[in-house]
Amino acid sequence: MSTDDFGKYVISFAVGLFVGDLLMTKNDKAKSSPVEKVEIIDSLTKVNDSIKIKVEQLDSIKDAKIIEVSTLDNDSTLKLFYKLVQE
């Protein structure tokens, strides 16, 4: 191996180390800290809880409508039917 070949290997090794170091620091910056992960989980939990509350409200409205319809007699059932058909 001549000194020219040795110099090429040293330069290519140094360039490889430099590129590897750049890639590693880029990957480290892309990772989020545990605090950021906890904040994301907390915000998702809040959104999930608000959706659960909305679904519970819709269920209670649905249940109230079912009770309202089930207590109708024949005349009011026909009135409700005609009202729904007109809409």
Lowest mean pLDDT among 15-19, 62-66, 67-71, 78-82: 67-71
Q: What is the pLDDT of residue 40?
A: 84
The gap between the terminal CA atoms of the chain, to the nearest Å, is: 92
pLDDT digits (tens, 9 = 90+) for 28-71: 555 667 777 788 888 889 989 899 999 999 988 888 888 877 77
Q: What is the pLDDT of residue 53?
A: 92
In the chain, where are the structural domains located?
A: 1-31, 32-87
